[in-house]
Every structure is written in structure tokens, then in C-alpha cells.
Amino acid sequence: MYINSEHKKAQELLDEQKFEKSLLAFNNALELNPNHPDILSHRGVLYLHMNEKKKCLDDLELSLRLDDGYGYRYAALAYAQDYFGDLDKAIELYEKAVQVDPDDAVAYNNLGLLMEKRGYQQKAKENFERADKLSQIEDGMLDKMEELERIEENFHINKSESKNDEKKPENPLPKPGTQLKGEPLQPTKIKTDPPKTFGSVSKDLVTDKTVFKEFIAFIKNGFKLKK
């Protein structure tokens, strides 16, 4: 995720809302790795929080030009355009995002929201349905990955115990905690953060696509529900 130590420092300062210090660190990061699309994209998010429209869009547009085969770059710029009030440009960019990356459920969901704002109810519905379908597929894949990780972990535990058995002729008692069959799968990462808000999730959306599972959960919990 981080390109260099200054990039990591900048992102941590951004998370703490220490914007001026974060900007200095982002600038240092770019001196170490000039025109890196990830650093530019993240600095663009910082400028968004600082309400620096031109600087934000400049960074995100340059990031896109440097990495135009990555659908997420279009989605990030689309979010910023919508944030600064250019709904039509945002729709155009989200449409490009799902064209480049047809499996991006978040982009489909956000495109649906903007279509809804424009009054295109049928198109909004189609995008919401596509987002929901992709989220179900993604959840299924992640569940299988977690199960495989558990099986692999148990395999290594059992393999390690087998090696120990080879060294000891006696039959030892099973160690506590190794009998995992039937227990619920454990999450790969335990969250202690407060509940997500629209703003915090949207910030994560622009900064890092690896939190995709968290976005899907957010969507299912009402991100696109209307009162």
C-alpha cells in the first residue's frame, strides 16, 4: 500500500486529520518517488479534505493519466468531481470506471446514486442490481478464501504436530485450541473502529481498494437505501 516511509507517514497524518503535516509528508514522498500514481491519488484525497478543488483534481487527473488502465483511478476522480459539484463529469467517469473494471461493485453503486440524482430511475436500478450481484459474488469468494486460510492454518498445525510425534514415540495428548472443526470462521481482521459514516467510507474508497469487503458491508447496511 505504501510506496515509501514518507508516504506511510503522510497517510497516517491524514487519518489523524493533521492536514498541513500530512501535506509536507506527501510532498517528501513524491520527491522520493516522483509522479507515483498512488501517492498522487492519496495527496488528491488530502486536498479534497482541505477543500482545495484545483489541486485535488490536478493530482487525481495526473494519477489517472499515469495509470489509465486501472478502473479505480476513474472512480476516484469521479468521486471528487461529484464532491465539487460536477455531476455530469462524475457520471461520465464512473461509466468509464465500470467499463475498465466491470467487477467494481462500489463504482456501480455510486453510479446508481448519481443516476438517481439525475432522475434516471431505471438506469439507477440497473446499476444498484449489478452492484448487489457483484457484492454477493465477492462475499462468497471472501468466505471461501477465509475457509481456505483456516484449512491451511490447521494443516500447518497438524503438520507441525506430526513432526513432533516423529520425535516422540509416545502418543501425546492433543494441544488445547487445535480442535477447530465446527467452530465459526474467525474474521481475518478484527475491527475496533467506531461505526462507519458516509464520509469516512467514501474517503477509504478513494484511498485504498483493499478495503473492498468493508465497503460491501457498508452498502448492504443501507448505503443506497432511501428514506
Residues 88-114 have pLDDT tens digits of 999 999 999 999 999 999 899 999 999
Residues 149-158 have pLDDT tens digits of 676 777 665 6
3-state DSSP call for residue 179? coil
Domains in the chain: boundaries: 5-101, 102-164+181-227
pTM of the model: 0.65
CA-based nearest residue to 143, from 133, 131, 132, 135: 135
Q: Please give the residue that has the higher pLDDT: either 133 or 188.
A: 133
- Mean pLDDT (the chain) is 75
Asked whether 80 and 60 are in contact (CB, 8 A), the reply is yes
CA angle (116 as vertex; 90, 93 as ends), nearest 5? 15
Domain covering 5-101 in this structure, CATH number: 1.25.40.10
Asked whether 81 and 94 are in contact (CB, 8 A), the reply is no
How many other CB atoms are found less than 10 A from the CB of residue 9? 18
Longest Cα separation, the chain: 75
